[in-house]
Amino acid sequence: MFVTSFYLSPKYRGGGIGSEAFTLLMEMAKAEGFEKIVLSVDSTNTYAIEFYKKFGLRTEMMYMSKLLKDVKAAAGDESC
């Protein structure tokens, strides 16, 4: 199962609501026959990363990115 969005407003964090919801999500996914949960999280979102680690999620793939607003195209550059 690929989780596209899992968000809890900061004012509700720390009370166990997110943990209960994520546990329920995992139980429902397993009951539906899914073998794995996959999600993406911003590398700067340390709160979310630590939250997911508590549930046994681990890094399997890393996405890399670059803002292109300041990149100037070089004529004939075939290095990419």
Inform me whether the pLDDT recorded for 2 exceeds 80. yes
Residue 77 pLDDT > 60: no
Contacts of 74 (CB under 8 A, 6+ apart): none
* % of the chain with per-residue pLDDT over 70: 91
Return d(Cα 50, Cα 18) in angstroms, integer. Answer: 13
Quick one: how many helices (H) and strands (E) in the chain? 2, 2
Domain boundaries, the chain: 2-54
Label residue 22 by pLDDT band (50, 70, 90).
Answer: very high
For residues 54-72, average pLDDT: 89
